[in-house]
Amino acid sequence: MAKKKVTFECTACGYQTPKWMGKCPNCGAWNSMEETIEQKPTSAKHGVRSESTAKVQKLNDVKQEQAPRILTKSRELNRVLGGGIVQGSLVLIGGDPGIGKSTLLLQMCAELSKERKILYITGEESLNQTKLRADRLEEDASALNVFAETNLEIIHEAVKKIEPELIVVDSIQTIFHPDITSAPGSVSQVRESTQSLMHIAKQMNIATFIVGHVTKEGQIAGPRLLEHMVDTVLYFEGDEHHAYRILRAVKNRFGSTNEMGIFEMKQSGLHSVVNPSEMFLEERSSNVPGSTIVATMEGTRPLLIEVQALVTPTTFNNPRRMATGIDHNRLSLLMAVLEKKEGYLLQQQDAYIKVAGGVKLTEPAVDLGIIIATATSFKDRAVDGLDCFVGEVGLTGEVRRVSRIEQRVQEAAKLGFKRVIIPQTNIGGWTFPEGIEVIGVTSVHEALKYALKS
């Protein structure tokens, strides 16, 4: 009997080595090596060339075919996907357990099954469990094809027989190929299963959604190669103890990766939030120290979000700097600007910053709002509850230009704000909306003068 070749593969980067290592020499990940058994190829003998129907073409001779996208009833899902589901695409969706991945996909399949042939493959639940979950939804799922199977070869046969327009595989960690001896969920099984599903999606022009588990660090489990193989990677964010969920695209070959979809979890399933800014501001603190409203952009959508700050004297030698929703290093940088340029004595103050609603703010246009919130908490003076702040702050205390200022100001005017403070360089070249005062500032000192003006 021939001896099987055993190798160890890193689940983070796919690096292979003949012996186990505690630390991957390629990416530096610890305890990421998993044992895999290499299989001998079962195809044609060595030296035999495989026939291919593909041929080399000039790029100008390639005919561009634009198939219509499959639109779902969920506006937020369509937005994140770039305008709808692309036929023949492979989409990977990940998120924490219980966040709503299966619920969202089952809703989508139940809605589309009324007019299209859809196949929902469940590897984690029985058919009875899937039906119980479908009965709680508002959509009628009576025409949906459901298949409880984990064997990849049997799944292939079912797909060829039914010929659906869309497939959902829940989840990829439960699918296994019988020719591979490793357990389901291992590096080799996940890679081979995704590769096979990708061939089905491309050859038969079937849109395919696969659900992926996440690790403790919040990344999709399995090799990083998994995210490179698929066309789109979606992440579900949010706390299972709160009603709102955020769907982000971190990779999208058919659209922008800056879009964000917001859903509300109800007993009947996930529902799109029509006006996210109003939702984020419905419980905001008005006219209290340490609270400001910032206008941020998520893709093409403007959002108004409350930033809260609490500055309090410390009893320790090293004051605490805690940030929720923004980068911790950015908070330290902005507080250093307040200390150096405005003379605020923050070295003996603890500072806590929180973005209301569980949103993560990454763009620099929210810098001015964070600085104003920190300063008002330190001075114990409130800003007007109808003020909005936009601007990037530099290390010398200047307020710098931001993009898409028209959409930000229009969103503030639509929600009833009376004044918006923006960079002076953004003034000019566009028409201000009616009912809102637009003030241009060049520095943090000037912005604080307007914000704290009684």
**What kind and span of H or E run contains 450?**
helix 444-451
> Which residue positions form the known binding site for ATP?
95-102
Q: What tens digit of pLDDT does each residue of 318-357 get?
A: 899 999 999 999 999 999 999 999 999 998 899 999 998 7
Give the chain's length: 454
In whole angstroms, what is the distance from residue 116 CA to residue 326 CA?
Answer: 43
The whole-model pTM stands at 0.77
64 C-beta neighbours (distance < 10 Å), count: 4
Positive or negative torsion for Cα 257, 102, 170, 154: negative
321 burial level (CB within 10 Å; 0-12, 13-18, 19+):
middle
In whole angstroms, what is the distance from residue 79 CA to residue 72 CA?
Answer: 10
Residue 38: per-residue pLDDT:
63
Residue 298: per-residue pLDDT:
84
Above pLDDT 90, what percent of the chain? Answer: 56
Low-confidence ranges of the chain (pLDDT < 50): 1-2, 41-49
Could you tell me which of 189, 225, 207 has the C-alpha nearest to residue 82? 207
Q: Are 277 and 317 in contact (CB under 8 A)?
A: no
Residue 45: per-residue pLDDT:
42
The rounded mean pLDDT for the chain is: 87
What residues contact residue 445 under an 8 Å CB cut-off, 6+ apart?
A: 341, 342, 397
Above pLDDT 70, what percent of the chain? Answer: 92
> Which residue positions form the known binding site?
95-102
Place of tokens 């495989």: 50
CA atoms within 13 A on the CB side of 153: 4
Residue 109: per-residue pLDDT:
95
Q: What tens digit of pLDDT does each residue of 20-79 get?
A: 999 988 888 888 888 776 655 444 444 444 555 668 889 888 887 776 899 999 999 999
The DSSP call for residue 203 is H
